[in-house]
Structure 1
């Protein structure tokens, strides 16, 4: 090396050091670019999958309400053949998501002269068609959609199937059993069904656009592929069958997690092409299906790979050109290069305001300087845009928090609310979910001896639900000042809410009026959870039992709904506990619900406590059960314990 000239030494050492610096910057940029891309992909995949899953879930929940309401109607009303046909046709005609609907009766369950009777209306070529599934060889009572809900005594979604002899299409069915009382026992009278066409689901899922070749697919609770861009896989393959064919334990494990209702972001190979992808999967709670969204890995890194190729090519070309130039203008080259190396190091540690060396000549060094200047300005612009986006997101979250605080401020929060009244003990609490919701409670005296208490849960989330809640709370208080009959109050509020309700929102409400002298409660129920009674007997015994209520329709749904007033007497030390479904539907990490049984056990454990201590204990029990799992619904409770002694 000592015998080599200065040009060779400069070329050798500068090329070596420049190459190392370039590789360091390149490696640093490539590594962290990949991390950022993968993080952004996970966030985007989660948002896309949850958005699409929530879209499907909202439709499925709406579909479920239809047969549930019809089953309730059939259990509580008499219905002749003409009325049944009219209801079924109207149900299919007025619900675009429903492909077909049927009422399948038990043998001789509709008419003593008919062994099988199952009227079925379904959509075909833009019109409503009718068939009786009880005729011919269809044997509807042997199908899973009939047998499973009957045996389980509960509504259920079927696996996807081709309805040969009925709707003649790929479908999934939601079935609800309905009953009759016979000899003091509840007997199954038949099954009410609502069908969804899998072609509709295929259209919804296939509308998910992911880069150029990414896609979404849907599997059933048993792993059957329900929708997929490759038509030959639909209903012909399961995710476990694919795993077996590939001998892929990881895919089999992913399939198990999907059918268990879990969510996750995992590396994945496309089912049809085996192309490496990133996949996010999320459950659809209504029917325990799972939605997956695939992001092709090569398309995600295509831009950065192309950019890295360009950067590498430019770096190599620059180094070669600089090496040639050093032979002729060593001094003019080494001086600006030293300055550029220093500036590059400063940029690498995050100082984007560093001044780059001025361009003295329009040669390779000058071009390299301009390239670094462009890179620096691009990075500054990117950071500025990212800062603005973050600030905008924080502003939206702040506005939603303010809306939630305003919503909570209209609820009574001062306890005890009536310090001078010793005839009863009342306490209420609400634990709001992260979204603006629609739970509310209220209590106030109508006169000196009558305390009105109300609890409600508005359908939906967000600002519309909060506004609907405020309107409902105001109407309840206004109507109560005009009338002391709970059933009449609900009837009037229902009529007012129904007028102009283009969004078809509704609210479940329980209202009670306590006579603080006698302990008598007049109450009415509008589709709300039945309250729990805590009865105190002799010798310090007690019992927790549901309050008998008439299952009135939700308030605001149907203008002609009438609500009944019922009565119960509280003895001294008796209590009534009212709550919203956010209590029993609080979910833990395993997807388990808090449930009515756990709530009753908590009330039994806390029966000697005051109303405030009881509610605080239940809140603590729910928090211990759910741990860190965020809840999707408000948790609202109210308890009134009657002491007696009023004049």
Structure 2
């Protein structure tokens, strides 16, 4: 479902489709169950209809069979004269409405004997006698079959040859005589039955509007059928052959075998139907009843169409109800969405929709009202805070510029002095930092230099740094040695030091003529000496405490003689404690290797190279502490010393 559709559209679509699917499933199942119930009921009714018709036919044919067998037994048990025989036959035809004609055909005693078979039949309401010479009964099926089988038999239906053109069937049964202990065939008693009544009875079987019944003989010949041209002219097998219908051929075999069933059937007109067939036991014929499927299911389809119309109406009403409910939900939501869009653009004066209910939409609207008020207040405070932050950042930038202005940045610092070279840089972790360096000539012969690291960071450290730097420079210019400088500055800084801040400091004074370095260390990282020949060594520890920690501390004075070409590298702990993303520190060992690697370069390139090493090592990790580097190279020759 497209995500950009409205909630109302999706709600209507989902509920309508769901209702349609559910209704379709129920309607389909109802149609299937109705058809199944109808089919079972139809089979029961078809069986009752067919069997009632079979029983009616069976009753007539059984009575004819019994009358014929009764005449046969009479002829076996007594001797009848010609007149008596005629009287018996005439009474048989007269007293039995179902019998069209009756005959007693005697078996000739010799080949030359004249056939004797008196025959009475009905014609125009009168009994007519036909002498034995009027037909050759010895060649008739009814005579030959009973004679050979020695039992009562019915012939296949046929058209009579007595001028009546009546569809008939004959029941024949033999009668015998015993002579000299031998049982000999005496003749055949035959009763002709007109099948007009049977045709009318079968034709009277009405099934719905176009359903019908038909009758097959035991050989599959069509005896009765709505299509007159098929009667006695077609068999079920000839129809199967003409239609190349193997199913119809199989059905014909089952019919002549005396079976019964209820099956789907396609009639000669190609209409889908249901067929029930059952045998007539006394003659071996089959009665079949055809039920057109379209007419059977018409009521089911009509009911289904009615259900479908009602369901469609229900779905439309449901859709209208969903539209109404969806609109009642989405209309305030749309209004709320418009108001929130205005809020998103910064319009906090926009009016939110009025709360008209206590449902989820009302709760949401109330929540947005609270949110609008909170956002308005928050934005107001944020604006004030941002302005204050920008003001502080501006002041910090000014402080940074002032702090950096305190540090000497001109290199080389003393262009006319070639007996030494010096370069330094500082990179604060924040706008302002606590590291600092300084250098200045105390007199024409002595260079004083300082590197220091104030505890903490930011503005407090910067202020403490400025104060420390000023005190150190003022004290050093009075000509005091480094240990005295640190002691005096320590006493000044520790006095009234409520913040308990301190500064690690390395202070040295270089005699530019002799190369003698006098220094004192107030808890600072040990500098490294790089001698000619690329030998790197650490200055020995002096054990001095941080400056400003407490009053009355003394510091040890140390001495070092620099040879021409020797370098002194000073730094703060931001160098060795720099970390990378794996939280590894740069370490003293890496610093020592870096000094060895940059030894062949000038002091400015060497310091920049060390800084590049540190940045490459740290990578994307943020800088956590100020970084300050200073390198001094002594250049005077030994001949210049005094």
Which has the higher Rg, Structure 1 or Structure 2?
A: 2
User: Could you tell me the TM-score, scaled by structure 2's length?
Assistant: 0.49
